[in-house]
């Protein structure tokens, strides 16, 4: 239970950290924004480098700065955060118990991979990269499904 909550909180914090790091990194003097902002941005970009290729052409840009992860990863993380918040709100309001669903988590995860797989196959077979918005939208279901599956763990 504690690990599930920690994951859901961390996924939301990470999704929020992505644009915040770009904002902090875009300031000429990040220390004027908030002490430690430059270190925060540096840490987020370093973590992003571990989990993503960070190619600027495949990334969204805010404040004239490339985000710490590509568009597809941004979509995955936003999907996970949206699902985590939805799970938390539903549980808090006792609207639903995500574990009461009859859906097989493995089937949901496999189905959620289809949009991302389609964009990857398209890229690999045509040599053409879909727009960043399409890549991000393709990642949303995958991130949401992972958070939902983790939220189902007893």
Q: What is the pLDDT of residues 52-89, one digit of tens each?
A: 999 999 999 999 999 999 999 999 999 999 999 998 88
Three-state DSSP class for residue 65:
strand
* More confident of the two residues 31 and 23: 23
**Residue 100 pLDDT:** 60
| Pair 75, 87: CB distance under 8 Å | no
Q: Place 33 in a pLDDT band, splitting at 50, 70 and 90.
A: low
Say what the pTM is: 0.89
4 DSSP assignment:
H
Residue 7 exposed, middle or buried by CB count within 10 Å (0-12, 13-18, 19+):
middle
Residue 25: closest CA among 38, 43, 44, 35: 38
């Amino acid at each position: 239970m504690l690990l599930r909550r920690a994951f859901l909180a961390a996924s939301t914090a990470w999704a929020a950290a992505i644009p915040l790091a770009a904002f902090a990194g875009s300031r000429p003097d990040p220390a004027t924004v908030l002490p430690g902002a430059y270190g925060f941005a540096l840490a987020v970009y370093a973590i992003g480098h571990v989990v993503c290729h960070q190619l600027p052409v495949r990334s969204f840009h805010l404040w004239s700065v490339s985000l710490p992860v590509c568009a597809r990863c941004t979509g995955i993380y936003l999907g996970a955060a949206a699902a985590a918040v939805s799970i938390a709100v539903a549980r808090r309001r006792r609207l639903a118990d995500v574990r009461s669903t009859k859906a097989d988590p493995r089937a949901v995860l496999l189905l959620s991979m289809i949009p991302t797989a389609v964009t990857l196959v398209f890229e690999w077979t045509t040599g053409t990269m879909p727009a960043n918005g399409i890549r991000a939208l393709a990642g949303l279901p995958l991130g949401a499904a992972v958070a939902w599956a983790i939220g189902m763990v007893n």
